[in-house]
A = this chain, B = another copy of it.
Amino acid sequence: MTHSATSPCFPVTVETAIFTLFQRDLKVCLFPCNQPPFEGSWMLPSVMPAETESLDDAAQRCIFSIIGAGSDSESDPFFQQLYSFGAPDRDPRGRTISIAYFALVAKDRLPEHILDGTNAPLAWHSAYRPPPLAFDHSEILSYALTRLRYKIEYSAVAFQLMPEEFTLRELQDAYMIILNDQKLDKANFRKKIREANIVEPSNRFRETGGRPASLFRFRKDAKLEIKTRRFFP
C-alpha cells in the first residue's frame, strides 16, 4: 500500500521515436541493434537517465545527441512523453523499464550528414513500413504513431515538422501523409487554416509548376491547442 522498506531497483531507459518528414513520407530515426537475439533488427535511440536528471531532460539529451543542440531554443524540436513499457520479458538480457517519448523535428533542422546517414549507423526509415525492430520497439512505434495522429487533429503540432517557410500545399501534404488520407479538400483545408489564425504570409513566393505559391510561417502567438465538446458519438 505504502512504500515498503526494501526497495527493489530497476534499470530504466528512455527511448525516443524521432519523426521527420521528407520524400513524401513520415520517417523515424533507427539504429542497428547488435544484441542477440536481435542481430539485424533495428531499435529506437535510447539513453539511461543520469542520477540527477529528470526524464524529460534525458529525452532531450537523447534527441540532441542525434540532431545536435540548436543555436536558439526557438527551433528546439517538440517532444512529449508517450507511455511506459515494463513487461518483465521485454528485454531478454534482463528486466528494464522503458519510458517512451516521441519527438518531431523539421527536416531543415537536421544537419546534412544526419539526414543522408553518411558516416553514422543511424538511418531514417518509413514510420509506416519499418524494418524488423528489436525488443518491443514496434509496439512503441505504433503507439507513437497513434498518438501523433490524435495530436495532430486537435492541435497544430504539424508545424513542428515544417521548415521555417512553407506553402499551404506543403502543409496540407504533411497532414495527408500523417493522417494517411488523400481526400482532404484543398479549399476547406485552407479555410480552416485561415480561420485558425495560426499562420501569416511572409510575402515571399515559391516557384512551382504553375502559379507561384505564397510562403507562410507560423505565428509565434498562435493558439495551438483547442478543446471542444465531443462526447462519443
Interface residues of A in 178-233 (CB under 8 A from B): 192, 195-196, 198, 223-233
Q: A153: nearest residue on chain B (CB-CB)? A: B230
- Number of copies of chain A assembled together: 2
Whether A45 and B1, one on each chain, are in contact in the complex, defined by CB atoms closer than 8 angstroms, is yes
Partner-contacting stretch, out of A10-18, A19-27, A107-115: A10-18
Interface residues of A in 25-75 (CB under 8 A from B): 31, 33, 35, 43, 45-55, 62, 65-66
Whether B233 and A192, one on each chain, are in contact in the complex, defined by CB atoms closer than 8 angstroms, is yes
A197 to B151, CA, bound (A): 27
Subset of 25 A-B contacts with CB under 8 Å:
A1-B45, A3-B13, A3-B35, A7-B48, A8-B12, A8-B51, A12-B12, A12-B86, A12-B97, A49-B86, A51-B88, A51-B95, A54-B87, A55-B97, A84-B84, A86-B99, A97-B99, A153-B231, A153-B232, A154-B230, A154-B232, A196-B231, A196-B233, A223-B232, A225-B232
A residues with CB within 8 A of B: 1-4, 7-13, 31, 33, 35, 43, 45-55, 62, 65-66, 81, 83-88, 95-97, 99, 150, 153-156, 192, 195-196, 198, 223-233
